[in-house]
Structure 1
């Protein structure tokens, strides 16, 4: 995926860049890095819609995380001048911006009997799943682009679509058929993949197997059962033999698939 220009590659670059920002910022707040700490700019007093408050606690230093991710993740892409490098830089930035998008202000009240005569507030990152869900929506709405003539940017491939913003994901190659194994495009296919017979989601046998059907095999495996808490302080379980049905996707029947594996 990293070597293609597909929308999947766009998502992978964005979520990876966002992950670096999140991990570095969290490490700063937890005192795990000597080069950074809490956000030094969040000091003194401020005002919001609820009134005055004092900055306190440890505000997540997202700006440091963004700077680190930009220097680390973008280093390779800045050496290139082709469309893929520009695409990756754009999507890396979109991933970084997604983390900042979900910064939230958290506050604690101080006062007699629970009153809020004084508030102490700090900025905190939202759970990373929120960033991931946001980028997943951007993946579904990714915009296909082409490199402009001077090689400095993009234009939309289809003039009916809007120009991408800095928050949008962009791609310039159509996605390969991920149902089929093709090493040339980095697709392993779905033949032999375990699927969920009862699911209606992306892991369902209907979706995962691309309409080819699936094989079912019955296997025995050991699992923990009849677990009990013993004072103090252990949980003890028995080993039980469990018989389950495993569903795996069938392989395509075309000879073309065999020749490309």
Structure 2
């Protein structure tokens, strides 16, 4: 009798687990499913799905598609080329492999990037440029130094962290009051100066153990205006988290959910930590009498390249005994920080087609005999060999510029050697 009960429990548990994975997979492959059943949604996610159709389109469709397109580009020369074929990608996303970790990270980064860019471009009524530094100066730029600028960014990040700690169903009154105090104080002129050591600004007596996103920003020397139209990356981070993490946070006891949430956050942090300072000089005859600076995101391809490097150095993890966190599978490996990607399942070799794992194989893929990278023929073809043929291609040649403003070209035949995996 006891054996029958155990079997029955396993039978009923398996579909539930599979449904959780299928749900997350379907959302990435078809973003419109996120808000399909709004009656079951709660909190901020339900509010956005029911009222903010423009924001929904910007976040889900544009952001996730941006992530998938960049995934294809970053892995175009590897055995796994991040194909968007649904049958293959669906199987890939059913496992906690390196590939799934990268897809989750790049799509979370894509959503963050798309929403932040939409705020800057003024296409969303819910947000605009980040002008927190102008609140106490009547909306006008302020003269600042590197010390006061970094201190203001510290305040803004504290406010952003508090927002992430607020439950999706509503904000706690005490937390809201504290966040308001921080937001009201996050101006350039209200913060005490910070100590400068070896060219870097540090809070006196503060801990520098955790990395800050402005550590790589080079502030100009002397005084300059903090103005312009800074990218509102905190708004993008917050809404990416609401859309992609809300349902997973309701079931955080399994390893797959913990890994997904970690990689989602790593993707968002890759956007935040890549912010750079852009400046423009003002003055007569090209002089730099006044310098105005603002924060801007880098090209998304640069962010994707960093995430690809973190894919290569991803760490395998396993569930702790408490069931609420993970640890390195190897006792000799250091725990992953919040910027690194993690995985729980080993990846297939992707050399031959495998319907179960989603691998399409590398037969018929074009390789490069002179390359020393992942597209080298012996590596991409898994030592099966390759064929070589000469193809003719039409290219533009003998281009001439005609005033004004036209460029005319002739069509030339060009012969190119193509190597294809067996």
Cα distance in 2 for partners of 1:225, 1:11 equals 40
1:80 shift after superposition: 4.2
1:21 maps to which of 112, 116, 123:
112
Q: Residue deviations 1:195-225, cap 9 Å, x none?
A: 1222222222122112111012233333333
Q: Could you say what secondary structure the match of 2:118 adopts?
A: helix
1:63 aligns with 2:234: yes
1:129 maps to which of 297, 301, 307:
301
Q: Which structure 1 segments of 5+ residues have no match?
A: 251-261
1:244 shift after superposition: 2.7
The verdict on how the C-alpha distance between 1:109 and 1:237 changes in structure 2, with shifts beyond 3 A counting, is closer
Q: Could you say what secondary structure the match of 1:184 adopts?
A: coil
Tell me the equivalent position of 1:257.
none
Tell me the equivalent position of 2:342.
170
| RMSD (CA atoms) | 2.1
Within 5 Å, give how 1:193-208 maps onto structure 2.
193-208=365-380
1:98 aligns with 2:189: no
The verdict on how the C-alpha distance between 1:230 and 1:5 changes in structure 2, with shifts beyond 3 A counting, is same
* Structure 1 segments (4+ residues) deviating >6 Å: none
Cα distance in 1 for partners of 2:376, 2:246 equals 39
Cα distance in 2 for partners of 1:20, 1:11 equals 14
Q: Quick check: which one's helix share is greater?
A: 2
Q: Which moved more, 1:102-111 or 1:178-187?
A: 102-111
Does the 8 Å CA contact 2:131/2:229 hold for their aligned counterparts?
A: no
Does the 8 Å CA contact 1:110/1:116 hold for their aligned counterparts?
A: yes
Tell me the equivalent position of 1:84.
256
Q: Residue deviations 1:25-53, cap 9 Å, x none?
A: 12211222222110031324332152333
Tell me the equivalent position of 1:143.
315
Cα distance in 2 for partners of 1:241, 1:116 equals 51
1:109 maps to which of 281, 290, 302:
281
Q: How many residues align?
A: 250
